[in-house]
Amino acid sequence: MDNTRKARAVGAVIVAIGISAATLTGCSTSAGGGGGTPSADSTEYTLWDPYPDRDASSTWAKAIDACAADIGITIKRNAGNTGDTVKDVTTAAANLPDVAMVDNPKVSTLADAGLLTTTEDNGLDVSKIEKNILSAGEIDGKYYGVPVGANTLGLYYNPTVLAAAGVDIASVKDAASLTAALEKVVAAGKKGITFSAVGTEEGTFQFLPWFWGAGADLKKLDSPEAEQALGLWTDWVKRGIAPNSVLSNTQGTSWDEFMTGDFAFAENGSWFKSAADDAGYKSIQVPGFDGGAAPAPTGGEFITIPVQKDTSRYATSVKIVDCLSTGDTGATALGYVAPTADGQKAQLAADATLEFWISAVGDAKPRTADNLGISYGVISEQLYTAVQNALSGAAAPADALKDAQTTAAEKLK
């Protein structure tokens, strides 16, 4: 989710989801960069991705090169700086790449613009992809690509801070018991919890586990359940259980706060697993209001096959996608949880400490679930605006959410 931190997460077991996309220029594998789709009889295929920090020596670039060698083609990789992939792919509509990787909520936008093939069109087999991860690319029963992998959010905790405050992590079973634990920590002279409530998609991404954990629905932002979730965050900030800095925190700056050792908890992503392991921090899933684990959103990119005039190219594009999404090839190269059961087993065999995050991804939910499609972007903007308004004191949670629902409904007419 936190693109600004990707370079620092290189080499970590799990990396950031790259919620934004790329201005697709510049970086490439050994095949060279730039350019559009080659002629019909060419064995050169183009792949666009949003990982400019991963050069030709990276595990990701090497995975692409290995796939090209296996298939007997050349893959011309084009990666660019963080930007707007949707705009770039739309601009290139007359000269689309063979394969394009986009953040999973963006798939619906490109599909709605008629730029992506469905798995029916291209023959891509999605039967082995875990359904909760795959459904981020589903619109009206059709699939517009496959995930290269996924990551998600959890609740990291500092065992030393909890022990000093007399808090047993086993006592944290729901939102109320978490608040009680935070109160003990603050009373003991330490800080409670940090997270990102910034006024961007990152803020929505971090709020969703609490929103969904209260039983709220993105189609009704002003429900009592939504108010309960936003009321929790607002109360924490008002009482100093969470710092005012959450209003401007990205996931990266929130993690920096947690790494000071002063906080008991931090909501953050699986991409910080390696740093947490080194610091001795542990993880639990975000607790739901009525107990159990709250569903967190899935993050990660989808590998899509854009529309081509020469449809005979799809067969080879499918081979590229299969090579990067089957098993753990692409996911491990990028630091994601694999999208298939077999891939996850291979990852666990290599690193048993991934069990928690594989389980968390299994419980996660796509942001565009419930067939929201392109409506998600509008809803998300109003949700993070409501969070900002409530936490800053500009509006009560109920009023902030009522305004959000009204505005979202008007924009979606």
Q: What is the pLDDT of residues 348-361, one digit of tens each?
A: 999 999 999 999 99
pLDDT of 92: 77
- Taking the domains of the chain in order of start, what are their residue ranges? 3-151+299-363, 153-296+374-411
CB of 124 closer than 8 Å to CB of 305: yes
- 6 — pLDDT class (breaks 50, 70, 90): very low
One of 1.10.3720.10, 3.30.413.10, 3.40.190.10, 3.40.50.2300 is the CATH number of 3-151+299-363, namely: 3.40.190.10
What integer pLDDT is reported at residue 84 of this predicted model? 52
8 Å CB contact between 306 and 314: no
Give the model confidence (pLDDT) of 392-405 as tens digits: 999 999 999 999 99
Q: How far apart are alpha carbons 369 and 77 in whole angstroms?
A: 30
Question: Is residue 305's pLDDT more than 70?
Answer: yes
Tell me the pTM: 0.87
Identical fold at 3-151+299-363 and 153-296+374-411?
yes
Other CB atoms within a 10 A radius of the CB of residue 356 amount to: 15
State the CATH class of domain 153-296+374-411. alpha beta
How crowded is the C-beta side of 38, counted as CA atoms within 13 Å? 16
pLDDT at 85: 58
Q: List, for residues 224-269, the tens digit of each pLDDT value.
A: 999 999 999 999 999 999 999 999 999 999 999 999 999 999 999 9
What span, in angstroms and rounded, lies between the C-alpha atoms of 96 and 99?
Answer: 8
**Distance (Å, whole) CA 359 – CA 292:** 13
pLDDT in tens, 329-386: 999 999 999 999 999 999 999 999 999 999 999 999 999 988 899 999 999 999 999 9
> Could you tell me the pLDDT band of residue 42, with boundaries at 50, 70 and 90?
confident
Per-residue H/E/C for the chain: CCHHHHHHHCCCCCCCCCCCEEEEEEECCCCCCCCCCCCCCCCEEEEEECCCCCCCCCHHHHHHHHHHHHHCCEEEEEEEEEECHHHHHHHCCCCCCCEEEEEHHHHHHHHHCCCECCHHHHCCCCCCECHHHHHHHEECCEECCEECCEECEEEEECHHHHHHCCCCHHHCCCHHHHHHHHHHHHHCCCEEEECCCCCCHHHHHHHHHHHHHCCCECCECCCHHHHHHHHHHHHHHHCCCCCHHHHCCCHHHHHHHHCCCCEEEEEEEHHHHHHHHHHCCEEECCECCCCCECCCECECEEEECECCCCHHHHHHHHHHHHHHHCCCHHHHHHCCECCEHHHHHHHHHHCHHHHHHHHHHHHCECCCCCCCCCHHHHHHHHHHHHHHHHHHCCCCHHHHHHHHHHHHHHHCC
Task: Take residue 350 and report the two structure tokens written for it.
Answer: 């290599």
pLDDT exceeds cutoff 70 at 23: no
Average pLDDT over the chain reads 89
Quick: pLDDT tens for 208-221.
999 999 999 999 99
Report pLDDT for 39: 54
**Contact (CB, 8 A) for 75 and 64:** yes
> In this structure, what are the phi and psi dihedrals at residue 141, rounded to the nearest 5 degrees?
80, 0
Tens digits of per-residue pLDDT, 258-300? 999 999 999 999 999 999 999 999 999 999 999 999 999 999 9
